């Protein structure tokens, strides 16, 4: 018979909850209780030939984090009680990076934008307790990048000493799902490029690998498209509130060097009133009132997709943008199409009459044209769930679907046989719960009340209600920030550390059996990554009084 | 018969909704539609002898805001369409400040800390459209300060030109209530002095005149008290997370120079576990578990008020702090006293047995001692509502009560005959709606769900359910930030511009008839002060897409 004590030791060995420093939790980890110092002359050596520039940059950045994080342990007394162990600890002088035999050397940036399911993000990281060289191995530079991220989270600082108390580490890690995203809407309110860089940094720290960029909407068109400069010239909030082609390339490069693919979304045919600012002839029900008859939010305005000129314009627009991007995915949106907008639009009705097509048939023609243009550029189209659940359009079999309205819709999309991304509003929308923003409505609440806590997101089961054969359709998931009530002033605290919740769900989930993760185990680690984010300049919101953060479990419900 | 058109003009003349720049709305204002430029050599001249240093500093600050706000009008095209009017506009060269005949010249700082109800905050401001000198008159430098604040909100910038399109202005303004506050809790999480300075600046912009500082609590004791340095030495989160006596004096001075009185709160006898870090003998149920039996949140811990030593210590502590502060008010807290804490405390029970007092009688003795010490220092005690609604303690008749649990309790406090401050959680708590922070509780929500929107706060009626004779008991109100889930990283967006809502309710309210103000009229002005706050370095949250902010009413529910 196994005693309770023995069982406890066993459990701790398998899942060492007191290693509170890593997020997402590696899929396999053993760690110890030995102190280990980081040498002031510590260096990271890439045994990778020739070492790609972005790998060298990642090494430099990691070394900088190690030296500047100044992250104190979240325990009573902070590092004070660690110092006696530290004084007799060995010192780690170097970490050596290498690729597994036979691996082809490519840059992180090249690896990061490969097709979903073909990237190699796994790595093996060993940090001995005796001061001998630490080793990080992977099949790709992208895997090495993920390992560097893990390594940079292991270290604390106290009185100038950088150290860990959990050596040795043996980690074998790889993600459960290929798509781990964060979506930002830059159309309701504009975000300068610097905010996006900072957000990409934070995403990389929790191994999020997709920046889903909802870049345009009815409110504004901040994207300068070389072939159609009039769109931003008239549709952006101002000549300063734009993303130039150079901005886009810089952001895509910045992301890729951090293992992040950019999934750009030009939402069509709805959410396009801002196109009317330069092309009024392309848009039905532009700023029509009452807006609630024609759109889910002001202003109304949708592309006249029945018009061949609009079809050609849209296909050309998407193509001209897509061809500048390295990613294999591109989103055409497709959510919240309002039928009234077309019912009351004389031009649309005349075109339907002349062609003899129904609205849905015409939508299918439009979608095939726009998706065809993307496919011709080598892109896999991505759409919101309505395009498969509410409309009768012909889609390529490999189209990726975003489930957003409800987690219950995942199974419906799976029934249609499409691969999909879990982005359900009832778990993953970061903007819910801030009250209503529509005017003249004092009692208004956000449509997706209540606030989606990190605990809510963290307990999402990506495989709920799916059959065994449907499970491979789940590509992963993402948390999302729609920005009716957000702007640069609150970006960090509304996103972080909450968006780290899905990052772990989709990196670690299957390790823990496919069910919901455990918020009680997670909280100390989430505190840790939150405080580390703040040390690195991201204004992540605090989760509890510091009193609680320093005393794991003391603020639990039944403590 | 008055035509609809005539009626509309009349309404606009009486309440010119298109003057979107002022917050809080003055009690009496007429304005025009004439453009007026601000001279590059514009200056503010104080015809006040001798001019107090803080008045001169306020003038310098106002001139700086005028030159650096770079605030564009929130209209389509921003200032572009104003430029033709601006080209033919007159230029304002100076604003002259003067006190009404017979007024005594005192500093803003002196005026700001006078007893509630004795301060003079009113002013008269005239800005002619013809370029002749603008005039600001008041009965005190504090009134002049409020007028400067108003003046600084009148101006916009476009292409380097500073101008208004609403001259002439004639404003006669004074507050409806003497207490307009904001409360910050610096004990759950610590806020550096710089955050408090910035918050005081923002408060001054909307004429909030009381900084209610909940400085200590069970989680930490950041206040360094000269006579009791051990309290912070052991009770603060760290030696860096403290307010030194110099910090306190600097903050009090900074506030007073901005027309703000500091109402310091040392919460007693509950919410005092942090005192046990240095004086364990003074605290019952210190960190007792389960915490939920002994406190509303972890950690438990309450002063052993039955102990004469604790009574003397607390009276001495409050006295030693209060004597360093110029304010006439000081809060002893008194909320959420947990009886179990004493029922299970042997020492308390022994003391009750030996004295023959009931717990309530002993609490009254304690309160009379601590309040007596404050009164001896010339302070008026302030308490949370439980001290008059739940406990049977003898209080001085002029004690001020904070209504917090529910707006419904205001009438109950009024029935007791005490003056009170409206701080109800169901309208004014800024921390609600962010989900639960207690651990091991994935479904947890904040106890005061939902999020309290600015609209909710703005529609609060300070006089609801009060009799005519009770109305004078309402001193004003405040919005509050408890910081279990807040820290410097989200301070600005969680507070601003929401806390401006009560600032206007208690400045402007009676002008509009004593009932609820109108969110539809307010929204464009709230946008304006929000964007101006951002220009001045306060990260106020955005309320709507910029598309809506540029088009007043276009995003209204039925627009």
Quick: pLDDT tens for B237-288: 999 999 999 999 999 999 999 999 999 999 999 999 999 999 999 999 999 9
Residue B1, pLDDT score? 35
Contact flag A456-B437 (C-beta cutoff 8 Å): no
Least CB-CB distance to A545: which of B290, B484, B557?
B484
Give the distance between the most distant pair of CA atoms in chain A: 86
Query: Whose CA is closest to A195, among A213, A172, A180, A208?
Result: A213
- Strand, coil or helix: B305: coil
Give, in order, the Cα–Cα distances in Å from A23 to each of A475, A495, A527, B331.
Answer: 20, 16, 10, 43
pLDDT exceeds 80 at position B366: yes
Q: Which residues of B are catalytic?
A: 336
The C-alpha atoms of residue B500 and residue B283 are separated, in whole angstroms, by 38
Are A486 and A435 in contact, with CB atoms under 8 Å apart?
A: no
Average pLDDT over residues A542-551: 98
Least CB-CB distance to B559: which of A220, A291, A540?
A291
Least CB-CB distance to B459: which of A219, A442, A493?
A442
Query: How many angstroms separate the first and last alpha carbons of chain A?
Result: 30
Query: Whose CA is closest to B280, among B334, B217, B235?
Result: B235
The C-alpha atoms of residue A107 and residue A51 are separated, in whole angstroms, by 8
Contact flag B489-A493 (C-beta cutoff 8 Å): yes
pLDDT exceeds 90 at position B7: no
- Closest Cα of chain B to A492: distance in Å? 8
The C-alpha atoms of residue B19 and residue A181 are separated, in whole angstroms, by 44
- Closest Cα of chain B to A460: distance in Å? 11
Contact flag A545-B188 (C-beta cutoff 8 Å): yes
Phi, psi of B529 (to 5 degrees): -70, -30
The C-alpha atoms of residue A315 and residue A308 are separated, in whole angstroms, by 10
The C-alpha atoms of residue A413 and residue A405 are separated, in whole angstroms, by 12
Helices (H), B275-380: 291-294, 308-322, 340-343, 346-355, 359-376
Contact flag A441-B556 (C-beta cutoff 8 Å): yes
Contact flag B483-A440 (C-beta cutoff 8 Å): no
The residue of A237, A296, A442, A530 whose CB has the most chain B CBs within 10 angstroms, and thus the best one to mutate to test that interface, is A442
HSE-CB at B479 with a 13 A cutoff on CA atoms is 29
pLDDT band of residue B223 (cuts 50, 70, 90) is very high
Residues of chain B positioned with their CB less than 8 A from the CB of A483? 542, 545
The C-alpha atoms of residue B217 and residue B1 are separated, in whole angstroms, by 64
The domain ranges of chain B are: 19-173, 179-513
Residue B510, pLDDT score? 59
Residues of chain B positioned with their CB less than 8 A from the CB of A456? 435, 442
Least CB-CB distance to A442: which of B188, B440, B519?
B519
Contact flag A555-B298 (C-beta cutoff 8 Å): yes
Strand A329-333 relative to strand A302-303, pairing: unpaired
Contact flag B442-A456 (C-beta cutoff 8 Å): yes
- Closest Cα of chain B to A383: distance in Å? 24
- Closest Cα of chain B to A526: distance in Å? 12
Least CB-CB distance to B556: which of A438, A543, A544?
A438
**Averaged pLDDT score across all residues of chain B:** 95
Contact flag A220-B436 (C-beta cutoff 8 Å): no
Contact flag A559-B485 (C-beta cutoff 8 Å): no
CA dihedral B496, B502, B506, B507 (to 10 degrees): 30
DSSP secondary structure letters along A309-324: HHHHHHHHHHHHHHTT
pLDDT exceeds 80 at position A97: yes
Phi, psi of A333 (to 5 degrees): 70, -120
Residue given tokens 């210590």 in the structure block = B313
Residues of chain A positioned with their CB less than 8 A from the CB of B488? 539
Least CB-CB distance to B440: which of A297, A450, A557?
A557
The C-alpha atoms of residue A362 and residue A368 are separated, in whole angstroms, by 10
Architecture of the CATH domain B19-173: 2-Layer Sandwich (3.30)
The C-alpha atoms of residue A334 and residue A268 are separated, in whole angstroms, by 5
Residue given tokens 């916009």 in the structure block = B156
The answer to whether B19-173 and B179-513 have equal CATH topology is no
pLDDT band of residue B145 (cuts 50, 70, 90) is very high
- The kind and range of the H/E element at B6 are helix B4-14
B434: nearest CA partner in chain A: A451
Residues of chain B positioned with their CB less than 8 A from the CB of A238? 78
Strand A419-422 relative to strand A161-173, pairing: unpaired
DSSP secondary structure letters along A10-68: HHHHHS-TT----SSPPSEEEEEEEEEEEEEEEEEEEE-SSPPHHHHHHHHHHHHHHHH
The C-alpha atoms of residue B358 and residue B444 are separated, in whole angstroms, by 37
Residues across chain A: 559
pLDDT exceeds 80 at position A514: no
Peptide bond into B50 cis (omega under 30): yes
A483: nearest CA partner in chain B: B545
Q: Would you call A521 a catalytic residue per the annotation?
A: no
Residues of chain B positioned with their CB less than 8 A from the CB of A202? none
Q: Which residues pair with A164 in a beta bridge?
A: A36
The residue of B440, B484, B523 whose CB has the most chain A CBs within 10 angstroms, and thus the best one to mutate to test that interface, is B440
Residues across chain B: 559
Could you give the ipTM of this predicted complex?
Answer: 0.95
Is the domain spanning A179-516 CATH 3.40.718.10? The answer is no
Q: Which residues pair with B303 in a beta bridge?
A: B283
The C-alpha atoms of residue A494 and residue A506 are separated, in whole angstroms, by 20
Cβ atoms within 10 Å of A74's Cβ, excluding its own: 22
Strand B161-173 relative to strand B156-158, pairing: antiparallel
* CB contacts < 8 A (A, B): 238
pLDDT band of residue B19 (cuts 50, 70, 90) is low
Residue A538, pLDDT score? 98
- Strand, coil or helix: A534: helix
Contact flag B433-A455 (C-beta cutoff 8 Å): no
- Strand, coil or helix: B492: helix
Please pick, among A63, A100, A336, A377, the residue that the annotation labels catalytic: A336
Contact flag B483-A545 (C-beta cutoff 8 Å): yes
pLDDT band of residue A3 (cuts 50, 70, 90) is very low
pLDDT band of residue A17 (cuts 50, 70, 90) is very low
pLDDT band of residue B462 (cuts 50, 70, 90) is very high
Quick: pLDDT tens for A28-73: 999 999 999 999 999 999 999 999 999 999 999 999 999 999 999 9
Residues of chain A positioned with their CB less than 8 A from the CB of B437? 543-545, 548, 555
Contact flag B489-A453 (C-beta cutoff 8 Å): no
The C-alpha atoms of residue A17 and residue A32 are separated, in whole angstroms, by 11
User: The tokens of A181 are what?
Assistant: 């995203």
Positive/negative CA dihedral, A293, A298, A304, A305: negative
User: What is the topology classification, in CATH, of domain B179-513?
Assistant: TIM Barrel (3.20.20)
Quick: pLDDT tens for B464-515: 999 999 999 999 999 999 999 999 999 999 999 999 999 999 999 754 445 5
For residue B94, what is the DSSP state? E
């Amino acid at each position: 018979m196994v005693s309770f004590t023995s069982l406890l030791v066993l459990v701790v060995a398998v899942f060492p909850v007191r290693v509170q420093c890593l997020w997402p939790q590696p899929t396999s980890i053993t760690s110890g209780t030995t102190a280990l110092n980081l040498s002031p002359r510590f260096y990271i050596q890439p045994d990778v030939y020739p070492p790609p520039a972005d790998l060298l940059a990642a090494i430099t950045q990691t070394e900088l984090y190690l030296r500047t994080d100044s992250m104190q342990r979240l325990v009573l007394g902070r590092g004070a009680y660690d110092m006696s162990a530290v004084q007799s600890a060995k010192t780690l002088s170097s970490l050596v990076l290498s690729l597994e035999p036979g691996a082809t050397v490519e840059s992180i940036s090249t690896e990061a934008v490969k097709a979903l399911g073909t990237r190699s993000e796994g790595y093996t990281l060993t940090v001995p307790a005796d001061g001998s060289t630490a080793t990080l191995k992977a099949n790709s530079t992208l895997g090495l990048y993920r390992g560097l991220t893990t390594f940079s989270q292991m270290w604390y600082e106290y009185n100038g000493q950088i150290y860990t108390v959990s050596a040795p580490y043996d980690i074998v890690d790889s993600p459960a799902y290929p798509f781990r995203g964060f979506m930002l809407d830059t159309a309701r309110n504009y975000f300068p490029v610097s905010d996006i860089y900072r957000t990409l940094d934070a995403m990389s720290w929790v191994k999020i690998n997709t920046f889903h960029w909802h870049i345009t909407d009815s409110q504004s068109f901040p994207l300068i498209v070389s072939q159609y400069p009039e769109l931003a010239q008239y549709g952006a909030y101002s000549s300063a509130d734009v993303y130039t082609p150079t901005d886009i390339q810089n952001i895509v490069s910045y992301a890729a060097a951090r293992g992040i693919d950019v999934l750009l979304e030009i939402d069509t045919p709805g959410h396009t009133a801002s196109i009317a600012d330069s092309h009024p002839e392309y848009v039905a029900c532009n700023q029509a009132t009452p807006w609630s008859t024609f759109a889910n939010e002001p202003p109304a305005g949708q592309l006249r997709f029945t018009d061949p000129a609009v079809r050609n314009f849209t296909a050309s627009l998407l193509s001209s943008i897509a061809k500048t991007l390295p990613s294999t995915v591109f989103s055409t949106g497709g959510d919240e199409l309002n039928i009234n907008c077309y019912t009351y639009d004389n031009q649309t009705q005349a075109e339907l009459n002349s062609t003899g097509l129904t609205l849905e048939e015409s939508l299918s023609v439009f979608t095939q044209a726009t998706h065809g243009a993307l496919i011709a550029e080598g892109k896999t189209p991505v759409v919101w769930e309505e395009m498969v659940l509410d409309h009768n359009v012909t889609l390529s079999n490999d189209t990726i679907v975003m489930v957003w309205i409800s987690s219950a819709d995942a199974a419906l999309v799976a029934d249609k046989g499409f691969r999909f991304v879990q982005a359900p509003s009832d778990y993953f929308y970061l903007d819910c719960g801030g009250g209503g923003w529509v005017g003249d409505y004092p009692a208004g609440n956000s449509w997706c009340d209540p606030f989606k806590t990190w605990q809510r997101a963290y307990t999402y089961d990506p495989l709920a209600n799916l059959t065994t054969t449907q499970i491979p359709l789940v590509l992963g998931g993402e948390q999302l920030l729609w920005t009716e009530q957000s702007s640069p002033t609150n970006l960090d605290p509304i996103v972080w550390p909450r968006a780290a919740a899905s990052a772990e769900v989709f990196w670690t989930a299957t390790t823990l059996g496919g069910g919901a993760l455990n918020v009680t185990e997670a909280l100390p680690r989430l505190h840790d990554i939150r405080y580390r984010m703040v040390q690195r300049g991201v204004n992540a919101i605090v989760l509890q009084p510091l009193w609680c953060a320093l005393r794991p479990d003391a603020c639990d419900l039944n403590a």
